[in-house]
């Protein structure tokens, strides 16, 4: 079941990317129900983060890439999309402990921001990326 939902989620994000390429404003009424059905109640919060341009892709010369999302409270979360990880409490509780959701609002904001091509970009050195990843892995 979980694998099926992941497939549906991936297809939905691809559909958003295709549709949003042509027109951002008219897509949400037609896909909002699907988004809410697949991703649950965090959709509106994730869309708000995207609207606020809160997602930044941080990349290094070695090809390492993470996403930083500034939450509504101003806290910065470093999400590692390649391994589907966010250090926020909601991800730990809802996704990892209770297995009640696919992702948190921060990871969904990254996917939506990327699909809409509105992600901010930042380049750092490999040493800076290492420090960033160290801070991400410590509580």
pTM to 2 decimal places: 0.75
Q: Which residue has the tokens 């990892």?
A: 96
Q: What is the pLDDT of residue 67?
A: 97
In this prediction, residue 103 carries a pLDDT of 87
Grouped pLDDT means (10 residues each) for the chain, 139 residues: 69 70 52 71 85 94 96 92 90 81 89 91 95 76
pLDDT score, position 19: 62
Instruction: Extract long-range pairs of 50-57: CB within 8 Å, 24+ residues apart.
Output: 50/109, 50/112, 50/113, 50/116, 50/118, 53/118, 53/120, 54/109, 55/109, 55/110, 55/113, 55/114, 55/118, 55/119, 55/120, 56/119, 56/120, 56/121, 56/122, 57/114, 57/119, 57/120, 57/121, 57/122
Q: Write down the pLDDT at residue 22.
A: 46
User: What's the pLDDT score for residue 25?
Assistant: 44
Q: Which of 10, 33, 3, 6 is nearest to 114 (CA)?
A: 10
């Amino acid at each position: 079941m979980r694998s099926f939902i992941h497939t549906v989620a991936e297809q939905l994000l691809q559909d958003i990317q295709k549709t949003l390429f042509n027109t951002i404003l008219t897509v949400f009424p037609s896909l909002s129900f699907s988004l809410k059905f697949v991703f649950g109640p965090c959709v509106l919060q994730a869309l708000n983060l995207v609207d606020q341009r809160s997602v930044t892709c941080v990349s290094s010369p070695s090809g390492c890439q993470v996403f930083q999302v500034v939450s509504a409270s101003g806290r910065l979360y470093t999400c590692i999309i390649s391994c589907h990880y966010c250090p926020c409490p909601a991800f730990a509780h809802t996704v990892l402990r209770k297995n009640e959701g696919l992702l948190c609002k921060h990871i969904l904001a990254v996917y939506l921001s990327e699909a809409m091509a509105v992600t901010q970009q930042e380049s750092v050195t490999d040493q800076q990326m290492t420090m960033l990843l160290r801070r991400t892995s410590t509580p």
